[in-house]
Amino acid sequence: MSPQDNARHIALFCKALYAFLLFKILYLWPLVGDVLDYKPFTYNSNLGYLLFAPLVLTKINTELFLGGFALLLVASVIIRVNYISAFIICWFSISLSRLFLPIINGSDLVLNLFLIVAIALPLYPKLPFKNSDQIQKVTSNVALLFAQIQFALIYLLSGYDKLLSASWRSGAAIDSINNLTFFHNPFITFHLNEVVCIVLSWSVIVFEMGFGFLIWVKKFRIPLLVMGILFHLVIAVVLGLVDFALVMMICYGVYLPFKKDMSDTDTVLIR
């Protein structure tokens, strides 16, 4: 695989994350006043000052922070993916999550993790030292491999937790989701009997556990990604977890670029 292909793929993945973040800002914007009334943001430590420094803007005007961040994201989607914008976006995103702390969910945690990894993904600007080209490519590939490992581990963690849970093993968890208010789309009602609940529950466990291992085997990769997209589309429509489903589907992009077998570490690290 040529380095150019990889650069294009990295750009697409990073820009998809930025576009998702922009979408998130737009739907969170109307709530910022209520969130700050409920839990106002204050700096509690020196580490907090450093980590959430962009939130200084909210002391002047909250709209300034959100608007500035939105403009930065629009610009970053247009311009070439680079270290500087990747770092600033990651920093602002962590700050955004802190600002909206009472309503953050799994999608924010996954998004921030991958934005951190995305700092090391770009190949631009070229650094001015000997062998920098080679080092930048290797760093980028290591970051991509790390992203793939993390994503597989997230599924493994989720699947293993469900495997340990009696209510997931018995299918009762599916029944709970189907019957409790605020857990599913009120316009889609299913009457699921116990057998269907067990089948669905074990399908989720097997998929999540299987993803962590089988994604590294070339012949299973595309079928798993297709199943994953269907799985997350169902989550988006039936459970209403649109943001979580979107970020997970975007992150599938980390598995797409390599034509050679990803389980061969040398292929990833040494080109």
Q: Which of 170, 196, 216, 227 contacts another protein by CB under 8 A?
A: 170
CA of residue 257 relative to chain centroid, distance: 17
State both tokens at 44. 């509690």
**Residue 48 belongs to what H/E stretch?**
helix 46-51
39-98 residues near another protein, rule: CB under 8 A: none
Side chain identity at residue 32, one-letter code:
V
Positive/negative CA dihedral, 215, 218, 224, 228: positive
Q: Which of 74, 103, 234, 256 contacts another protein by CB under 8 A?
A: 103
Q: Which is nearer to another protein, 60 or 270 (CB)?
A: 270
State both tokens at 271. 């080109």
Q: How far is the CB of 80 from another protein (least distance, A)?
A: 26
Q: Is 172 in the site for another protein (CB under 8 A)?
A: yes
Q: Which is nearer to another protein, 12 or 242 (CB)?
A: 242
Q: Which of 60, 128, 129, 180 contacts another protein by CB under 8 A?
A: 180
Place of tokens 């389980």: 263
One-character DSSP codes across 182-227: TSS-TT------HHHHHHHHHHHHHHHHHHHHHTTSHHHHHHHHHH
Residues within the interface to another protein (CB under 8 A): 27-31, 34-35, 38, 102-103, 105-106, 109-110, 112-113, 116, 131, 134-135, 138, 142, 145-146, 149-150, 153-154, 156-158, 160-162, 164-168, 170-173, 175-177, 179-183, 185-187, 194, 197, 240, 242-244, 265, 269-270
